[in-house]
Amino acid sequence: MAVQSVSETGEVGKKRASLFARAWDSDIAYSFRSSPVAVGAAFVTIVIMLATAFAGFITPQNPFDAATLNLMDGFTPPGEAGAGSGMTFSLGADSQGRDMYSAILYGSRVSLLIGLASTIFSLALGVSLGLIAGYVGGRIEALIMRIADVQLSFPAILVALLVFGIARGLIHPSLHEQMTFAVMTIAIGLSNWAQYARTVRASTLVEKRKEYVDAARVIGRRPLSVMVSHVLPNVTGPILVIATVNLALAVLEEATLSFLGVGMPPTQPSLGTLIRVGQQFLYSGEWWIILFPSLALVTIALSINLFGDWLRDALNPKLR
């Protein structure tokens, strides 16, 4: 069954499958291999992430370096050569002669970075609060869960808009542009933590009654160390699923905020900003300026979502 290979260190003495072979043989990996949708979605996600990470090497121009732009190339349709520079614009050029293909890759990078950063932020916040609520209990639990209730009854976009507005008011106007990335991350992160907190609290309540937690407490571990090194590893399963789905949501939320004009400025655009800019040219027939960023956004969100769907089913013991 398992691929038998001697471990590198040789200390164990017994035959033990390598980490990779064990991972390859696990239930999850099997379920992954046999689901074409999951493989496809993961493949597309990874390709997009790599392409955005190395955007500087695989794009014909740096779309936000004004020196490389040629105004004469403006509104070049997809696949044609620009009137100014003569280079071919595979996905067309916008009003300033910016290559849409390059702009989309750079924009996707901003979108994905904000998505990832805000997901990590809300995960860290939600998991810590959920652990504390579940483990400590009492008034602290009641307070945290009440806040989570109020938060969950308000739509994420509304919360993010509000946080963004407040941050704008608190930060000096001259710093607005540099701080937008951080503000967006915090605004989106703060609008999504409650779900983690609820889930982690529920599993913590179950885990903390188990004997291994009592044992850890009896041998004198402090509450913090019990929480982090004993309870936490046992409540991570569902968190992973929420985080995947949340990543797609965060990317879409960022796009929506930027589309509303309450997000990334045109100097460091995300996909939402590109769509917002492209909307101006919808009526005059330059459809490529809006179509391709929209397709990129939908592809990213859809592939992450499909992967998340598979992960949810794969980690759900009831469906095994």
Partner 1 sequence: MIAYLARSVLQGALVILTVGLIAFSMFRFVGDPVATLAGQEATDADRAELTERLGLNDPFPVQFARFLGNAAQGDFGISYRQARPVSDLLAERLPATIELAVLSAIFAFVFGVGFGVYAAINRHGVVANAIMVISLIGVSLPTFLIGIGLIFLFAVFLGWLPSFGRGDVVRIGWWTTGLLTESGRKSLILPVLTLGFFQLTLIMRLVRAEMLETMRTEYVRFARARGIPERRIQYRHALRNTMVPVVTIVGLQLGSVIAFAIVTETVFQWPGLGALFVNAVQFVDIPVMAAYLMFVALVFAIVNVVTDLIYVAIDPRLKS
Contact present, 49 and 111 (Cβ < 8 Å): no
154 binds partner 1 (CB under 8 A): yes
Helix (H, G, I), strand (E, B) or coil at 75: coil
DSSP strand E in the chain: where? 80-81, 88-89
Site for partner 1 (CB under 8 A): how many residues?
Answer: 34
161 binds partner 1 (CB under 8 A): yes
User: Of the ranges 94-102, 107-115, 201-209, 290-298, which one interacts with partner 1 (CB under 8 A)?
Assistant: 290-298
Selected from 101, 121, 164, 310, the binder of partner 1 by CB under 8 A is 164
Query: How many C-beta atoms surround the C-beta of residue 17 within 10 A?
Result: 17
Residues 6+ apart with CB under 8 A from 115: 188, 247, 248, 250, 251, 254
Selected from 259, 292, 307, 310, the binder of partner 1 by CB under 8 A is 259
What is the longest distance spanned by two Cα atoms in the chain?
77
Exposure pattern of 138-152 as b/e (b: 16+ CB <10 Å)?
A: eeebeebbeebeebe
Selected from 16, 22, 168, 217, the binder of partner 1 by CB under 8 A is 168
Selected from 114, 241, 255, 311, the binder of partner 1 by CB under 8 A is 255
114 binds partner 1 (CB under 8 A): no
153 binds partner 1 (CB under 8 A): yes
144 binds partner 1 (CB under 8 A): no
User: Of the ranges 6-14, 102-110, 166-174, 227-235, which one interacts with partner 1 (CB under 8 A)?
Assistant: 166-174
Contact present, 159 and 148 (Cβ < 8 Å): no
162 binds partner 1 (CB under 8 A): yes
Looking at this protein, which amino acid is placed at residue 3?
V
Residues within the interface to partner 1 (CB under 8 A): 150, 153-158, 161-162, 164-166, 168-170, 252, 255-256, 259-262, 275, 279, 282-283, 287, 290, 294, 297-298, 301-302, 305
